[in-house]
């Protein structure tokens, strides 16, 4: 399979994830998964996003018609219980952090780069997002089947993900998030 890949290293994304997690009493990885699910659903035009995680599956209903004005905290609580024993095909998330320290308030511009993946994506994966670090800086690597994410590709997806999470810190409902991902 022909894969495109990208890497983001972003203090702003890390700060937003930790801030949202603290504000809504949610694990930072849950915050990240919820944002990825919203954005993946928007990119693919689906009402639901499913990601395969090592322990099972993660499926989150992202239909704007049902959840446009939902409080962000409710979205994160739905994401916490979204883990199930399903095996969604094609989209994967792996947590490979080596640094799990808390955010320090560091802000800065993201560094985006096209990369050659160190780990091959799982067989049949069309979307493989790997969390490498989530401390003062978030580091995420994304591999996607060529064309799966449209013209924007992995670098556009990662840049948009950062924008959505930073925007989420200033909103109390998901309406702003849906506007950011659409």
Question: Which residues are paired to 84 by β-bridges?
Answer: 57
Residues 165-182: what's their mean pLDDT? 79
Position 53 scores a pLDDT of 67
Residue 69 pLDDT exceeds 90: no
Would you state the pLDDT for residue 124? 58
Instruction: State both tokens at 79.
Output: 């994401």
Residue of 44, 143, 138 whose CA lies nearest to 93: 143
Q: What pTM does this model have?
A: 0.75
| pLDDT of res. 129 | 85
Terminal CA-CA length for the chain: 28
Express each pLDDT in 133-159 by its tens digit.
Answer: 889 999 999 988 888 888 889 999 999
pLDDT, tens digit (0-9, with 9 covering 90-100), for 71-125: 888 877 777 665 544 444 556 666 655 433 333 333 344 554 444 444 555 455 6
Q: Do the Cβ atoms of 174 and 70 come closer than 8 Å?
A: yes
| Block residue for tokens 């944002």 | 35
Cα–Cα distance measured from residue 162 to residue 143, given in angstroms and rounded to the nearest whole number: 17
Distance CA 42, CA 160 (A): 11
Distance CA 118, CA 142 (A): 11
């Amino acid at each position: 399979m022909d894969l495109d890949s990208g890497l983001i290293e972003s203090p702003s994304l890390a700060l937003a994830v930790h801030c949202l997690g603290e504000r809504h009493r949610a694990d930072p990885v849950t915050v990240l998964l919820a944002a990825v699910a919203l954005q993946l659903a928007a990119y693919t035009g689906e009402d639901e996003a499913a990601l395969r995680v090592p322990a099972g599956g993660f499926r989150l209903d992202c239909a704007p018609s049902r959840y446009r004005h939902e409080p962000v905290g409710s979205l994160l609580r739905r994401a916490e219980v979204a883990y199930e024993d399903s095996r969604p095909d094609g989209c994967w998330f792996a947590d490979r952090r080596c640094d799990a320290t808390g955010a320090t308030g560091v802000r800065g511009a993201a560094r985006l780069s096209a990369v050659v993946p160190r780990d091959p994506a799982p067989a049949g994966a069309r979307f493989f997002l790997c969390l490498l670090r989530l401390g003062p800086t978030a580091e995420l690597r994304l591999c996607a089947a060529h064309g799966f994410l449209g013209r924007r590709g992995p670098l556009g997806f990662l840049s948009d993900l950062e924008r959505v999470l930073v925007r989420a810190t200033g909103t109390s409902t998901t309406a702003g998030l849906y506007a950011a991902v659409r």
